[in-house]
Chain A
Amino acid sequence: MQLSNRNKGRIGATLCLVTANLFSTTGLVQAQEVQNAFDEPATNGPGNIIMDGAVMYYRENNSRIQAIEPMASYTDYADNGDIFSIKLTADSLSGASPFGATPWIAPQNFLSPTSVTISGDDGSTGASGGVVVTDPVTQMKILQTTAKANELPLNPGFQDTRGAANLSYTKALASRTRVTFNLNGSIERDYQSYSGGASIAQDFNNKTTTISVGVNYQHDLSKRLYGTPTPFAVMTGVFTDGTKSENIVSATAGITQVITRNWLVQLNYSYERATGYQNNPYKVISVLDPVTGAPQRYLYEARPDKRTRNAVYIGSKLAVGSFVTNLSARYYHDSWGINSITANASEHIPIGTRGYIEPGVRYYHQSSADFFNYFLLSNAALPQFASADNRLDKFNAITASIKGGYMLNDQIELYAMADYYSQTKAGTKGLLPGNNGSLNLFAGVKAISVMTGVKYRF
């Protein structure tokens, strides 16, 4: 049987109708009345003012990093369709973090310049271990730490606070066209980041299709105390490089489509190009004896000064009754050789007439950066680039989460979330030279985070 093009087109149209019909049928089968407060229309439209405040607590296992992050936002949806929004976030981090050095069967000593706010006077012991001394020549304060035998060395002097502000303004140019401008600033003691961007969104097909494009520019400053270390400089050295900066230009394009009365999908593409300083000024890589695996020295990491990232994201939301199934997937590729996939699934489940819970899982896998290595060997020439940062390793991560919300009345929503996040090594396990297979080189984290907040509509 031969199909003419016209017939093919007709069959295509029939298929479309059938699919649409199946979905609209499920739409009709579902309860027609508002059963739950989260079936009520969203209040992100003209005439609403919303204040939203929340606190997040984050904790990694083995007493690594702990963070508390309060945030507050104010959003005004004006009568003429304009939206003005401001958000303030603070961050307080403390605890120990891996800094790239490999574990060893004997204790290891590290010396690094410090700001010593946690340790008090010279010679005193810091809250999280380590001794601070002042170099008689340079007057630099140096933190001496000892990593226990067979354990992953951690940087104990880690403590920082961050403040961030985001401003956003959306202007309705026409009934189907919106432009959004945003400004962001984030400041911590040794790092600053500023960015600004603009995007435009246009609706088509009776507003069932929305296409948006945006550009963003970001400028980051890395200002480690006493300056940033020169790549491959020996740890403890005098830092000659001062403040370093990085520029990031990014662009996004997206299409959101309402497919049936109760199903919408989204497809996005994002491109990002970073140039400038991209090292972490606290991360080192161990140089090991090629036969025994014993550490000989520690060098500051060296990364390329250019990075191009590409990501494609597809997401779907499907309502059946008062339930909503959320699915999304992302493919990511960058010029450092990292490829990753992310898959996310969650189910919005109505509880009673005023609440919901949303259990979810997320799977993430990434390959390692081309220049990622757990260590370098003392008998080999230095490569052009090297980093032992665990963010550049090959690993899998699983998140199990539960979110929930409760509408106290028409105006007040209480909400909470709890997450368990776990990274595991993917691919071949890293091994030290010699015969120390028992030492675990993978520095991935396991963490819990909890958050609670309240949203108030005027």
Chain B
Amino acid sequence: MKKIIPFCCLAGLTILLTACSTVAPWERDVTARKSMQLTKNANFAAINDHIYYSKEGSTGGRSTDGGGCGCN
């Protein structure tokens, strides 16, 4: 149960931020940038994941969906 609490706090925070969102579909110029992609360079991410997976006891976390230009 103790582990659920921080997760709920984070989820609550995200929902709060969601409620604030005022970004219109035509205001996605910045999130559409190369520099703002969740995975700017897939190979950098792959190499880091590989090294940490083989040297540390933990896995999991990152994902790649969302952000971007919101087109189509």
Contact = CB atoms under 8 A, between A and B. Distances in A.
Same assembly: yes
Interface of A: 16-17, 19-20, 24, 27, 36-46, 52, 54, 56, 58, 69, 71, 73, 81, 89, 172, 175, 178, 199, 201, 203, 205-210, 212, 214, 250, 252, 254-262, 264-270, 272, 309-315, 317, 319, 322, 324, 328, 330-334, 336, 338, 340, 342, 348, 350, 356, 364, 366, 369, 391-392, 397, 403, 405, 415, 417, 419, 421, 423, 445, 447, 449, 451, 453, 455
B56 A259 contact: no
A46 B60 contact: no
Contacts of A46: 72
> Top 10 A-B pairs ranked by shortest CB distance?
A256-B66, A210-B66, A311-B60, A313-B61, A270-B60, A207-B70, A16-B20, A332-B58, A38-B35, A212-B65
7 contacts: A19-B20, A54-B43, A201-B65, A257-B14, A261-B28, A266-B67, A423-B55
Given A209-B21, A319-B36, A392 B57 contact: yes
Contact of A210 (B22, B43, B48, B67): B67
Contacts of A269: 7
B14 A258 contact: no
A203 B66 CA distance: 8
Contact of A272 (B23, B46, B51, B60): B60
B69 to A, nearest CB: 6
Given A266-B66, A311-B58, 17 more contacts: A43-B34, A69-B50, A199-B65, A208-B21, A209-B66, A214-B63, A254-B65, A254-B66, A255-B66, A262-B30, A264-B36, A310-B60, A328-B62, A330-B60, A348-B40, A392-B57, A449-B51
A447 B47 CA distance: 13
Nearest to B50: A69
A17 B33 CA distance: 25
Is chain A's interface secondary structure helix, strand, loop, or mixed overall?
A: strand
Contacts of A178: 65
Contacts of A334: 57-58
A109 B60 CA distance: 39
B11 A52 contact: no
A252 B63 CA distance: 9
A194 to B, nearest CB: 17
Given A45-B69, A210-B67, A267 B58 contact: no
A447 B51 CA distance: 10
Contact of A71 (B29, B38, B43, B70): B43
Contacts of B50: 69
A255 B14 CA distance: 8
Contacts of A201: 65-66
B52 to A, nearest CB: 8
A71 B46 contact: yes
B56 A257 contact: no
A403 B44 contact: yes
Contacts of A268: 61-63
A260 B32 CA distance: 13
A379 B70 CA distance: 66
B1 interface: no
Contact of B3 (A175, A310, A319, A322): A310
A338 B57 CA distance: 7
Contact of A205 (B21, B29, B30, B33): B21
A340 B57 contact: yes
A302 B47 CA distance: 29
Given A42-B33, A256-B38, A264-B36, A311 B59 contact: yes
Given A258-B21, A265-B17, A40 B62 contact: no
B59 A260 contact: no
A262 B69 CA distance: 12
A38 B35 CA distance: 5
B59 A257 contact: no
Contacts of B67: 210, 256, 258, 264, 266, 317
Contact of A41 (B11, B20, B63, B69): B69
B41 to A, nearest CB: 6
A272 B65 contact: no
A348 B56 CA distance: 26
B55 A324 contact: no
B31 A314 contact: no
Given A38-B34, A208-B70, A58 B14 contact: no
